[in-house]
């Protein structure tokens, strides 16, 4: 088999068979294929696409390119969740302890953030002492004892995906639905979950900016999951404004704690309850989504969700005192308030620019190896449709220097549009697949 022939075949729009895809993934994994041929193949896929069968074959080969976790020792249906990425998307820190507190094991491997899409591992590392590097053996022991493990992806998990993603990032081939679907689903299958709830973001702060693209991606991932014997539900949710009010690693931990205490509601809670309810439904812990939402809300009110989060902190070395004293979490010293220049209503928010502002504070990465300022970020003071008076606070910025605050403020002023007429936000949950 010859890689040049495969590149030409896909370039000309033909379908690849399972053996050809296996040959490609093996060459990526063992280093026998040069990066220029891999890049050429990725570009051919970007322009000519892959059908569901090709994408499923690619996913299976990528999942099996390294170690595959086996959590069969852990009793019960193991539920997982994945978000395609957004701004102030703190749902994992809320729904994981809530779902686990109901008795459904949640063993979740997460990644670090790149660009304006924050990573769960970065948020956990903002907690003093929290250990994200967990072995498979230890993860099984934790899950048996507490029903919850939040951990970073191990080095031997889907090595083919790591290489492909790094090349996609520098060759302009990130925004390919088959490649996105295979990347996400290969990691989830290798991570050993029985079922996965996918949060496919749609809007100005998401990879998929229109509903049609989000539906295409969601449908492909659901079909692939079913093809491989996994239960998969996709929730398409809006990202036309930051999901929560806090953007930044330590700040998002603070907001998650307040949600679990029952002090914060809104969109962040709504999406967390919806995703969590579908996790309970696929685990057959409840019979309807409504029952799932009610059960999760009950575990906020009775404190069981917060107690499970405390258990997670103690289990993985984090300081549980942060639950009572937020000042134990890092917060950057320089502060700047962004003020409204006119009276009216918040008519539009460019969420991608809000994300760019968070990168300027030091809360996000512009490149993979960039160190983070865990205490940096933004606290939004207004949502879409809110009334605004001239001189009123739109957002509060935290960063290490005045220069970083000023750079972030410049993006925020561009991102928040004030109009004369009130604009209603689009529905938060756009579709369930």
**Residue partners of 303: CB distance under 8 A and separation at least 6:** none
Query: What CATH architecture does domain 79-155+164-323 belong to?
Result: 3-Layer(aba) Sandwich (3.40)
**Residue partners of 90: CB distance under 8 A and separation at least 6:** 123, 243, 244, 246, 252, 253, 255, 256, 259, 268
Instruction: Mark residue 135 as left, alpha or beta (left: phi above 0; alpha: psi -120 to 50; beta: remaining).
Output: beta
Give the residues across from 432 on adjacent strands.
235
Query: pTM score, two decimals?
Result: 0.92
For residue 70, how many other CB atoms are within 10 A of its CB? 10
Q: Quick one: pLDDT at residue 424?
A: 79
Give the distance from CA 408 to its chain's centroid. 23
Is 149 in contact with 99 (CB distance < 8 Å)? no
Domain 330-419 is found in CATH 3.90.1170.30:
yes
Q: How far is the C-alpha of 245 from the C-alpha of 378, rounded, in Å?
A: 8
Backbone angles phi, psi at 140, to 5 degrees: -65, -45
* Strands 148-152, 195-202: pairing kind: unpaired
**Residue partners of 219: CB distance under 8 A and separation at least 6:** 234, 433
Instruction: Mark residue 246 as left, alpha or beta (left: phi above 0; alpha: psi -120 to 50; beta: remaining).
Output: beta
Q: Which two tokens stand for residue 413?
A: 């002023």
Residues marked active site are found at 82, 161, 168, 183, 187
Q: What is the 3-state secondary structure (H, E, C) of the chain?
A: CCHHHHHHHHHCCCCCCHHHHHHHHHHHHHCCCCHHHHHHHHHHHHHHCCCHHHHHHHHHHHHCCCCCCCCCCCCCCCEEEEECCCCCCCHHHHHHHHHHHCCCCEEEEECCCEECECCHHHHHHCCCCCCCCCCHHHHHHHHHHHCEEEEECCCCCCHHHHHHHHHHHHHCCCCCHHHHHHHHHHHHHHCCCCEEEEEEEECCCCCECCHHHHHHHHHHHHHHHHHCCCEEEEEEEECCCCCCCEECHHHHHHHHHHHHCCCCCCHHHHHHHHHHHHHHHHCCCCCCHHHHHHHHHHHHHCCHHHHHHHHHHHHCCCCHHHHCCHHHCCCCCEEEEEECCCCEEEEEECHHHHHHHHHHHCCCECCCCCCCCCCCEEEECCCCCCEECCCCEEEEEEECCHHHHHHHHHHHHHHEEEECCCCCCCCCEEEEC
Domain-wise residue ranges, the chain: 3-49, 79-155+164-323, 330-419
Of the candidates 56, 89, 432, 18, the residue with the CA atom closest to the CA atom of residue 221: 56
Is 230 in contact with 68 (CB distance < 8 Å)? no
**Cα 3-6-11 angle, rounded to 5 deg:** 125
Q: Quick one: pLDDT at residue 138?
A: 94
Of the candidates 222, 241, 243, the residue with the CA atom closest to the CA atom of residue 231: 222
Is 4 in contact with 34 (CB distance < 8 Å)? no
Burial of residue 224, with CB atoms counted within 10 A of its CB: 0-12 exposed, 13-18 middle, 19 or more buried: buried
CA distances in angstroms from 372 to 82, 358, 400, listed in the order given? 22, 11, 11
Q: Quick one: pLDDT at residue 226?
A: 83
Q: Quick one: pLDDT at residue 117?
A: 65
Is 385 in contact with 422 (CB distance < 8 Å)? yes
CATH assignment, 3-49: 1.20.970.10
Look at the block and give the residue holding tokens 């989060």: 309
CA distances in angstroms from 105 to 91, 99, 196, 344, listed in the order given? 17, 8, 12, 47
Instruction: Mark residue 328 as left, alpha or beta (left: phi above 0; alpha: psi -120 to 50; beta: remaining).
Output: alpha
pLDDT along the chain (433 residues), means of 10: 96 97 96 96 97 92 91 93 92 98 94 71 96 93 96 86 86 89 90 93 88 94 86 95 96 98 97 98 97 98 98 98 98 98 95 94 82 96 96 98 98 96 87 96
């Amino acid at each position: 088999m010859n890689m040049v022939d495969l590149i030409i075949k896909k370039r000309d729009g033909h379908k690849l068979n399972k053996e050809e895809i296996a040959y490609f993934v093996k060459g990526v994994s063992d280093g026998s294929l040069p990066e220029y041929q891999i890049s050429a193949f990725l570009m051919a896929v970007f322009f000519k696409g892959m059908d569901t069968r090709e994408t499923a074959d690619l996913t299976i080969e990528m999942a099996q390119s390294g170690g595959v976790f086996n959590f069969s020792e852990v009793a019960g249906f193991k539920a997982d969740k994945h978000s395609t990425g957004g701004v102030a998307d703190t749902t994992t820190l809320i729904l994981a302890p809530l779902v686990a507190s109901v008795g459904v094991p949640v063993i979740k491997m997460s990644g670090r953030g790149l660009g304006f899409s924050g990573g769960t591992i970065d948020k956990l590392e903002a907690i003093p002492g929290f250990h994200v590097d967990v072995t498979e053996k230890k993860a099984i022991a934790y899950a048996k004892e507490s029903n919850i493990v939040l951990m970073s992806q191990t080095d031997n998990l889907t090595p083919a995906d790591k290489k492909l993603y790094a090349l996609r990032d520098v060759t302009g081939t990130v925004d390919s639905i088959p490649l996105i679907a295979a990347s996400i689903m290969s990691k989830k299958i290798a991570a050993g979950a029985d079922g996965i709830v996918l949060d496919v973001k749609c809007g100005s702060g998401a990879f998929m900016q229109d509903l049609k693209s989000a539906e295409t991606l969601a449908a492909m991932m659901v079909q692939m999951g079913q093809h491989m014997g996994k239960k998969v539900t996709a929730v398409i949710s809006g990202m036309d404004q930051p999901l929560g009010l806090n953007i930044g690693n330590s700040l998002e931990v603070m907001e998650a704690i307040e949600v679990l205490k029952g002090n914060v509601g809104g969109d962040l809670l709504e999406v967390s309850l919806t995703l969590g309810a579908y996790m309970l439904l696929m685990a057959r812990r409840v019979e309807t989504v409504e029952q799932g939402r009610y059960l999760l809300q009950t575990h906020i009110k009775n404190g069981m969700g917060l107690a499970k989060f405390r258990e997670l902190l103690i289990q993985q070395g984090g300081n549980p005192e942060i639950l009572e004293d937020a000042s134990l979490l890092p917060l950057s010293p320089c502060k700047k308030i962004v003020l409204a220049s006119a009276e009216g209503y918040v008519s539009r928010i460019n969420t991608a620019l809000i994300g760019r502002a968070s990168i300027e504070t030091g809360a996000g990465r512009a490149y993979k190896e960039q160190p983070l300022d865990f205490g940096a970020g933004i606290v939004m003071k207004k949502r879409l449709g809110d009334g605004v008076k001239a001189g009123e606070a739109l957002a509060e910025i935290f960063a290490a220097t005045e220069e970083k605050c000023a750079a972030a403020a410049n993006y925020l002023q561009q991102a928040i549009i004030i109009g004369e007429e009130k604009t209603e936000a689009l529905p938060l949950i756009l579709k369930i697949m």
